[in-house]
Chain A
Amino acid sequence: MNTQTQLAERNTGTVARKGDTQVQKGPAIVPAVDIYEDVHGITLWADLPGVSRDRLSVHVQDGNLLIEGEALIDTPEGLRLHHAEIREPCFARAFSLSADFDIAKIDANLSDGVLKLSIPRREEARPRRIEVSVG
């Protein structure tokens, strides 16, 4: 299996973001992820509670995969917050993708606040067994 694939985490700090074209709205929560790789590619699950489909953006630019979401929770008027374990309703996390992934075929699925991303490998980058013929 190819050990060169890198899905290394990128610095999501504000300093790194300054040069970016994307406007960062403010501090964000780094969502917890599970990352799994098999022969077909990488599957990534990210916890994004409260994020609806229209408030989620999955973006690939210059080999970087950027997941951004905004949680929106219906609250009644005049709510006073007493205790908050989630303070920022924004989620953001970025990863760098190596060239052997087919970014055109990334499949994203959001259900019950969990994003599932399937990032397939390019056909030519898939591991294959070479038959040795005896002759």
Chain B
Amino acid sequence: MSDLLFNTSLFDEFDRIQRQMSSLFSGLPSSIRASRLSTFPQINLGSTDDSVEIVAFAPGIDPAKLELTVDKGLLTISGERERVQPESEGRSYAQERFVGAFRRAIELPRDADPDNVKARYANGCLTISIGKRETSRPRTITIQ
């Protein structure tokens, strides 16, 4: 992978600051289907020969409040994360964690099969596995 530049923790620190800054200016127009930097949940996407694999890093969410839909090749993950309520009066020093409603959409490759979707929520990660259509699997053709 070409992540040479991103390998230092200094960049991680920049990334965090940038996320905070962008949340201040979130009113500015951004690309359609929202690609703000401060996206929640963060998503990794990969594929194997038989499936498309998506991981959404969404900690601290009640799985019952997560909604997953596939419509016309668009996979949408939406839900809401509530603010944790401290038990007693006090003061807050940091509020970096995401709070509120979220929605993320992923355009699925054409060969993804919307009837074959498996989703699992564990340790704050939503893992989605979408099967590929039989016809699109790679195959070797024997030469006669």
Contact = CB atoms under 8 A, between A and B. Distances in A.
| B contact face: mostly helix, strand, loop, or mixed | mixed
Interface residues of A, number: 48
Interface residues of B, number: 50
B62 to A, nearest CB: 8
Nearest to B93: A35
Interface string A24-40: 00111110111111111
Given A14-B8, A38-B86, 17 more contacts: A13-B9, A27-B11, A34-B92, A35-B92, A36-B90, A37-B92, A37-B93, A47-B59, A48-B59, A49-B41, A50-B124, A50-B125, A71-B57, A71-B123, A73-B55, A112-B123, A113-B58
Task: Choose among B16, B50, B87, B93 the residue with the greatest number of A CB atoms under 10 Å from its CB.
Answer: B93
Given A14-B9, A81-B46, A112 B96 contact: no
A36 B91 contact: yes
Nearest to A28: B9
Contacts of B98: 32, 47
